[in-house]
Amino acid sequence: MHIKKLYNRQMKEQKSLDILRHSAAHIMAAAVTELFPGTKVAIGPFIEDGFYYDFDRAESFTLDDLTKIEEKMGEIIKEDHPFIHSSVPKDRAVKDFREKGEKYKAEIASQIDGDEVSVYKSGNFTDLCKGPHISSTGKLKYFKLLSVAGAYWRGDSSREQLQRIYGTAFFTKEDVDGYLAKIEEAQKRDHRKLGKDLDLFSVNEAVGGGLVLWHPKGALLRDTIESYFKKFHIDNGYDILFTPHIASEELFRISGHLQTYSENMYAPMEIEGKPYRVKPMNCPMHLMIYKTKLHSYRELPVRYAELGTVYRFEKSGVLHGLLRVRGFTQDDGHVIVAPEQLEEEMLKVFSMAINCLKDFGFSEYKIYLATRPEKKYVGEIEDWEKAQNSIENALKKTRYDYEVDEGGGAFYGPKIDIKIKDALGRLWQCSTIQFDFNLPERFDIFYIDSSGKKARPYMIHRALLGSLERFIGVLLEHYAGALPVWLSPVQVALTNINAEQHEFCIKLLRELKKNDVRVIFDGRNEKIGHKIRENVMQKIPYVAVVGNKEKAAGAVSVRARGNRDLGVMAIDNFISLIKEKSAYGVNDL
Three-class SS string for 281-326? CCHHHHHHHHCCCCCEHHHCCEEEEEEEEEECCCCHHHCECCCECC
Answer yes or no: do 326 and 473 share one domain. yes
Answer yes or no: do 174 and 207 share one domain. no
In a domain, 265, yes or no: no
**3-class SS letters over 551-582:** HHHCEEEEEECCCEEEEEEEHHHHHHHHHHHC
Lowest-pLDDT choice from 195-199, 376-380, 556-560, 570-574: 376-380
pLDDT tens profile 116-142:
999 999 999 999 998 899 999 999 999
Contact 137, 83 (CB under 8 A): yes
- For the chain, the residue count is 589
Answer yes or no: do 156 and 198 share one domain. no
In a domain, 371, yes or no: yes
Per-residue confidence at 6, pLDDT binned at 50, 70, 90? Answer: very low
Report the C-alpha gap between 117 and 123 in whole angstroms. Answer: 20
Whether 7 has a pLDDT exceeding 80, the answer reads no
Q: Is the pTM of this model over 0.95?
A: no
In a domain, 382, yes or no: yes
Answer yes or no: do 497 and 396 share one domain. no
Whether 295 has a pLDDT exceeding 60, the answer reads yes
Residue 521 φ/ψ region, left for φ over 0, alpha for ψ in the -120 to 50 degree band, beta for the rest: beta
Domain boundary among 160, 182, 204: 182
Q: What is the CATH number of the domain that holds 57?
A: 3.30.980.10
Report the C-alpha gap between 472 and 201 in whole angstroms. Answer: 11
Domain boundary among 423, 443, 478: 478
String of DSSP letters for 482-550:
---TTT-S--EEEEESSGGGHHHHHHHHHHHHHTT--EEEE--SS-HHHHHHHHHHTT-SEEEEE-HHH
| SS3 assignment, position 411 | coil
In a domain, 288, yes or no: yes
What is the mean predicted confidence (pLDDT) over 59-65? Answer: 94
Domain, as residue range, for 231: 194-243+282-478
Whether 246 has a pLDDT exceeding 60, the answer reads yes
pLDDT of residue 533: 94
Q: What is the CATH number of the domain that holds 528?
A: 3.40.50.800
How many other C-beta atoms are found inside a 10 Å radius of the C-beta of residue 386? 14
Report the C-alpha gap between 143 and 66 in whole angstroms. Answer: 12
Percent of the chain with pLDDT over 70: 98
Lowest-pLDDT choice from 244-258, 385-399, 496-510: 385-399
Whether 87 has a pLDDT exceeding 60, the answer reads yes
The amino acid that residue 509 corresponds to is L
In the DSSP assignment, the letter for residue 28 is: H
In a domain, 442, yes or no: yes
Q: Compare 211 and 409 and report the one with higher pLDDT.
A: 211
> Catalytic positions, please?
283, 312, 330, 332, 334, 415, 461
Contact 194, 550 (CB under 8 A): no
Answer yes or no: do 115 and 6 share one domain. yes
Q: What is the CATH number of the domain that holds 379?
A: 3.30.930.10
Residue 241 CA, chain-centre distance (Å), reads 25
Answer yes or no: do 206 and 97 share one domain. no
Percent of the chain with pLDDT over 90: 79
Answer yes or no: do 313 and 418 share one domain. yes
pLDDT tens profile 232-245:
999 999 999 999 99
How many other C-beta atoms are found inside a 10 Å radius of the C-beta of residue 70? 15
pLDDT of residue 11: 52
Per DSSP bridges, beta strands 201-203 and 161-170 are: unpaired
In a domain, 298, yes or no: yes
Answer yes or no: do 454 and 544 share one domain. no
What is the mean predicted confidence (pLDDT) over 455-476? Answer: 95
What is the mean predicted confidence (pLDDT) over 509-532? Answer: 95
In a domain, 274, yes or no: no
Number of domains comprising the chain: 3
Residue 510 CA, chain-centre distance (Å), reads 39
- Bridge partners for 164 per DSSP: 54, 149
Answer yes or no: do 19 and 58 share one domain. yes
| Phi, psi (degrees; rounded to nearest 5) at 431 | -75, 140
In a domain, 532, yes or no: yes
What is the mean predicted confidence (pLDDT) over 12-31? Answer: 90
Lowest-pLDDT choice from 153-157, 337-341, 440-444: 153-157
Domain boundary among 478, 509, 535: 478
Whether 505 has a pLDDT exceeding 80, the answer reads yes
Answer yes or no: do 114 and 232 share one domain. no
Report the C-alpha gap between 80 and 85 in whole angstroms. Answer: 16
Answer yes or no: do 534 and 447 share one domain. no
Whether 33 has a pLDDT exceeding 90, the answer reads yes
